[in-house]
Amino acid sequence: MRRLLCLLFLVFVLPASATGLLENRPSSNLGSINNSADFLPVREAFRLSLVESTAQSIKLRFVATEGYYLYRHRFQFRADPADVALGAAKLPDGQKKHDEYFGDVEVYHGILDVELPRTDQRAFTLVVTYQGCADKGLCYPPETERLSIDGSGAPTTAYPWSWRELALFFLAGLGLTFTPCVLPMLPILSGVVLRGQVGGWRGFNLSLAYVLPMAACFALLGALMGLFGAQLNLQARLQSAWVLVPFAMFFALFALAMFGVFELKLPHAISSRLDRIAGRTEGGSLWGAAVLGVVSSLLVSPCVSAPLAGALLYISASGDALGGGLKLFMLGLGMGAPLLLVATGGAAWLPKSGPWLVYVKNAIGVLLLGLAIGLLSRVLPGQVTLLLIGLLAGGVGLFMGALEFVYKPPRKRLGQLIGMFLVFYALACWYGAFSGQTDPFNPIGQPRVVENKQLVQDASAWQTVSTPADLDRALAEARSSGTPLLLDWYADWCISCKVIEHEVLDDPVVLERLKGYRLLRFDITASNTEQRALLDRYQLFGPPALMFFGKDGVERADVRVIGEISAKEFAERVARANDQI
C-alpha cells in the first residue's frame, strides 16, 4: 500500500510538471501509435472559449492540452454576416519552430489569448478556424468553431476542469502525506488538537476543523495561480531559454534538498513566530483546530514546495481560478485524509515512519533532476541532453550499488541488478551522444544504409485520390482483383506525413515487404466536408494514418498505424499484416 501511494504521487508529479524530452519535431520512435485512443478529439486537445465580449473588443482563449500545439499562421477569424466589421486579430509571438520539410513556423503551447477589435455593436456569429498537432506525430485538419456574440458586451468565462483531475490531485495529496514533510503533522493533530483523546465524533469534528482550513490555504494559492498564472501564461513562456534555465536550476535545487544536501525550511524569523502562535493556540476547540490547520499549512508548504511547484505550473496552464482553487483544495484534502483516519482511531492502518521515507525522498529527487533535464532539452542540443540523461541514470545506478561487489541480502541484490542495468544504459547514452544520436529510447541508434538503390520508391507507384467516391472505387477494385492494399492518409500541411513519406515508406525493408500491395494515398489537404466525413467513418482524427486492407477488402484494424512510426517498427507491422493476408 505504501509503495502504491508513493507511485501514484510520482506518476502525478511528472505529467503535471514536465515539458518532455521533445525536439522540434517528434521522434518517430516516440510516436509509434496503433490506435486512436492515444489521441484526444480535436476539441479536447484544443479548448476554445469566449472570455469577454465588450463594445470595443472580443477576447478569446485557446487552451492547448499538454503535448499539443497550435500553428500561428493557421488562425482565421471572420464574422457571419460578413458585413459586420472586425479588426485584425492581435496574436502574440509564438515559439519558433524549425522543420526540415516546412521551414520556420511559430506555434503556441498552453494558453493563448487572442483579442479581436470590434467596431460594430450588432449581434453576430464569430467563425474561428484553427489548426494544431500532437507532439506524438498527429496533425489535425483545420477546425472551425462558431461562437455567438451578442450586442450587450456581457463577458463569458469558461472553467476547464474535470472530476478526473480533481481525483488525481486528491491522490497526489495522499502521496504527499507519507513523506517526512507531512508525517510530523500527525503528532500535532493527536497531541495538540485532540489532546490525546482519539476516536468518536469529537475526534472527527476537531480533525475536520483542522484539515479544512489547511486545504483552504492551498485552495487560495491555487486560485491565485489560476487567476494570475493565466496572465503570465507560464507554460507558453517556458519555451524561452531565459525561463527554462532558471526553472531547471530551481528544480535541481529542490532535488538536492530531497537528497539531504541541505534542509529546506522557512526563515527562522517566520517559523519561530508561527511556532509561538501554535504554542499559544488552545487545543481541543474547533477554533483552535482551525488556527493550527492554517499554521500547519504554512509550516509544511516549503517542505513540499517542489511538488507544489509542479502542481502550480500545471494549474497556471488552465487559466481557471475556480478550477485551480478546487484542484489544490483536493490536494489539501488528500493530505488531510490520513489525519482524519488517525483522529477517528484508525492510526493502526497507517504506515509507520522508517527508513523507507528516505527512499521516497530520494525517488522524488531523481524525478526532479529528470524534470530539470527535460526543461533544458528545449534549449540544449540533443546530444548534450542524452549525455545528461546518461549522467543521471549512471548516478542512480551507482547509488543502488551497481559496483559494490560484496554480499548483499536478496532485496539489495535486486536493487544492485537494476543499478547495473542503469549503468549500462548510461554508457549507451554516452556512446550514442558522442556518435551523434539524440533519442534516449534508442541511444545507440542504427545507421540507415540503402544497399540497393533500385528499391528506392517510385512516386508513380502510389495512386492519389482526394474524394470519397474515388477512394471507394479504388478499394472496390482492389477487392475484386484480390489485391491487398495500403491506404496512406496524407495532407500537405501535415509535418508527420512528410516524415513518413521520406523516412518510412522509402525504407528498403519496408519496400521489400510491401511488394504485391496496391499503394493508395488519400489527400485530405483541402479538409472539406466530404473528406472530414471520411475521417469519422474510419474513426480517425487526422493524418498521418496507415491502414491495411486484405485481399477480401476488409481492414486489418489491429495493424493500423496512427501518428508517426519508425521504419523498423512499420516494417514489423507490415510483416504482421502479411501473415494475416
Q: DSSP string of 402-413?
A: TT--S---HHHH
Residue 70: Cβ within 10 Å count = 23
Q: For residue 57, give the 3-state DSSP assignment.
A: strand
Closest CA to 87 of 53, 113, 115: 115
Q: What CA–CA distance (Å, rounded) separates 314 from 15?
A: 9
Cα–Cα distance list, 264 to 9, 128, 259 (Å):
20, 48, 11
pLDDT for 574: 92
In this structure, what are the phi and psi dihedrals at residue 520, rounded to the nearest 5 degrees? -125, 130
The residues spanned by each domain of the chain are 43-149, 161-351, 453-580
Residue 429 CB contacts under 8 Å (≥ 6 apart), including other chains? 386, 387, 389, 390, 393, 440, 443
Residues in the chain: 581
Average pLDDT over residues 10-24: 37
3-state secondary structure of 343: helix
What is the per-residue pLDDT for 457?
47
Say whether pLDDT at 3 is over 50: no
What does the pLDDT look like over 428-483, one tens digit per residue? Answer: 999 888 887 877 888 886 544 444 444 444 545 889 999 999 999 999 999 999 99
Element (H, E) at 475: helix 468-481
Q: What is the pLDDT of residues 503-514, one digit of tens each?
A: 899 889 999 999
Rounded distance, CA 367 to CA 8, Å? Answer: 13
CA distances from 537 to 139, 531, 532, 552 (A): 18, 10, 9, 19
Which has the higher per-residue pLDDT, 574 or 328? 574
What's the pLDDT at 391?
A: 92
Residue 210 has pLDDT above 90, yes or no: no
Which of 17-21, 95-99, 285-289 shows the highest mean pLDDT? 95-99
How far is 494 from 192, CA to CA, in rounded Å? 63
Q: Which band of pLDDT confidence, cut at 50, 70 and 90, is reported for residue 76?
A: very high
Please say if the pLDDT value at position 171 is more than 70: yes
How many C-beta atoms surround the C-beta of residue 100 within 10 A?
A: 11
The type of residue at 57 is S
477: cell is: 477494385
318 vs 508 pLDDT, higher one: 508
Nearest to 327 by CA among 181, 182, 168: 168
Q: Write the Ramachandran bin of 60: left for phi over 0, alpha for psi from -120 to 50, otherwise beta.
A: beta
Residue with grid cell 484526444, as numbered in its chain: 40
d(CA 283, CA 507): 74
Q: How confident is the model at residue 302 (pLDDT cuts 50, 70, 90)?
A: very low
pLDDT of the residue at 190: 54
Fold of 453-580: Glutaredoxin (3.40.30)
**DSSP of 72-106:** GGG-EEEEESTTS-BPPPB----EEEEETTTEEEE
Q: How far apart are CA 339 and CA 334, in angstroms?
A: 10
Lowest-pLDDT range, 51-55, 59-63, 436-440, 453-457? 453-457
64: closest CA among 80, 52, 77, 75? 75
Q: How confident is the model at residue 158 (pLDDT cuts 50, 70, 90)?
A: very low
pLDDT at position 53: 82
The answer to whether domain 43-149 and domain 453-580 are alike in fold is: no
Position 272 scores a pLDDT of 61
If one looks up domain 43-149 in CATH, what number appears? 2.60.40.1250
Give the pLDDT confidence of 540-570 residue by residue, as tens digits: 888 899 999 999 999 988 889 988 888 888 9
Q: What is the largest CA-CA distance in the chain?
A: 89
Q: Could you report how far apart the first and last alpha carbons of the chain are, in Å? A: 47
Q: Name every residue whose Cβ is closer than 8 Å to that of residue 525 and which is 6 or more positions away in sequence.
A: 466, 490, 491, 492, 493
pLDDT tens column, 106-145 = 889 888 889 998 887 788 889 999 998 888 778 888 889 9
**Segment 145-162 mean pLDDT:** 66
Could you give the CA distance from residue 246 to residue 131 in angstroms, rounded to a whole number?
Answer: 32
Q: Peptide bond before 544: cis, by omega within 30 degrees of 0?
A: yes
So what's the pLDDT on residue 30?
Answer: 38
Q: Which of 446, 241, 453, 193 is nearest to 343 (CA)?
A: 193
Distances in whole angstroms, Cα of residue 506 to Cα of each of 99, 195, 309, 559 = 19, 75, 45, 19
User: Residue range 72-81: average pLDDT?
Assistant: 90
Residues 66-76: what's their mean pLDDT?
A: 88
Q: Which of 6-10, 288-292, 554-558, 561-565 has the lowest mean pLDDT?
A: 6-10
Mean pLDDT (the chain) is 75
Alpha helical stretches, state H, 48-199: 163-177, 185-187
pLDDT at 481: 93
The count of other CB atoms within 10 Å of the CB of residue 434 is: 11
Count CB atoms within 10 A of the CB of residue 395.
Answer: 15
Confidence of residue 416 (pLDDT cuts 50, 70, 90): confident
Stretch 284-290: mean pLDDT: 59
pLDDT band at 17 (very low <50, low <70, confident <90, very high): very low
